[in-house]
A and B are shown apart, each in its own frame.
Chain A
Amino acid sequence: MPVTDVSHDLDARTLTIVADFAAPPKRIWEVYADPRQLERIWGPPSHPATFVDHDLAPGGRMNYFMTGPEGEQYYGYWEVESVDEPHSFAFDDGFALDEEFTKNPDLPVSKNVFSFTDHEGGTRATYVGIYATAEGLQQVLDMGMVEGASTAINQIDELVTA
């Protein structure tokens, strides 16, 4: 497991994940810079992601949707704030209402900084997400919970019907 540390602070409304990869930062950067690679890693196997728009540049927008097991679609967007290739990028991560990627004002937006530094011949990646309110973090956690649980349960479904 390449994850070295996960920490969360409900008071500061921050989630931090640190992971080490056996490839240089340039290679990890490519995963985010190439929409076909990014969609292979962003959604869980039960909810693959499709990036419709991909502009990893300051002021750029990334629009994507995730498709569930019954074909249902969940829309999201990233609004890119700053880019320092191949070391870091910062963006707002939000939910969208529809295929026009209209922002959903009722769901929380998080501020994210992804950074990649040289570390023992590979890369140390640090992912930081900050939510404006504790309720916002809670809401995202609630949604993440269901996604995780349904993935596990789908696997049980497959096992018992095999």
Chain B
Amino acid sequence: MDGTDEDRVDAWFQALSDRTRRDILRRVLAGEHSVSTLAASYDMSFAAVQKHVAVLEKAGLLTKRRQGREALASGDVAAVRSVGTMLTELESLWRGRITRIDELIAETHPQKD
């Protein structure tokens, strides 16, 4: 990993270290949202939400385009992570489920037939 990659990873983790930004990212990964729609979802000022969107954009996690007076944001994870890495993440969700099944069956008494 060279210096540029390191900087990008730093920006990425910094962007995701905030709960509101993680929530914004979840929404824009599911589909394009206008910044004003996003702002309406949070108990904070439009400017504060705009600032969060700007941090995500700078980290390369989100892209923005203009449509008339609206700024439309969508998630752009492919830009920072390879498909292989993402598959690993989905695997980890599954591994979590399987570990929880394992724990669940271990804690309950065996079934009487």
Q: Which residue of A lies closest to B96 (CB)?
A: A44
Q: Is A132 an interface residue when CB atoms closer than 8 A count as contact?
A: no
Q: Is A148 an interface residue when CB atoms closer than 8 A count as contact?
A: yes
- Bound together, the chains give a CA A63 to CA B104 distance in angstroms of 22
Q: Which residue of A lies closest to B91 (CB)?
A: A6
Chain A contacts for B87, CB-based, 8 A: 8, 15, 141
Chain B contacts for A10, CB-based, 8 A: 83
Chain A contacts for B71, CB-based, 8 A: none
Q: Which residue of B lies closest to A107 (CB)?
A: B30
| Contact assessment for A143 and B111 in the assembled complex, using a CB-CB cutoff below 8 Å | no
Chain B contacts for A22, CB-based, 8 A: 102, 105-106
State how many residues of chain B have any CB contact under 8 Å with chain A: 38
- Bound together, the chains give a CA A37 to CA B96 distance in angstroms of 15
Q: Is A142 an interface residue when CB atoms closer than 8 A count as contact?
A: yes
Chain B contacts for A125, CB-based, 8 A: 98
Once A2-B98, A22-B105, A153-B13 are accepted as A-B contacts, the answer to whether A141 and B90 lie under 8 Å apart by CB is yes
Q: Which of A8, A21, A30, A72 meets B102, CB within 8 Å? A: A21
Measuring CB to CB, which residues of chain B are less than 8 angstroms from any residue of chain A?
13, 16-17, 19, 22-23, 25-26, 29-31, 75, 77-78, 81, 83, 85-87, 89-102, 104-106, 110-111
| Contact sample, A vs B, 7 pairs, CB 8 Å cutoff | A6-B91, A22-B105, A74-B26, A145-B89, A146-B22, A147-B26, A150-B26
Given A19-B98, A41-B101, A144-B86, 12 more pairs with CB closer than 8 A: A2-B98, A3-B95, A6-B94, A8-B91, A23-B105, A24-B111, A42-B97, A70-B23, A125-B98, A146-B25, A146-B77, A147-B93
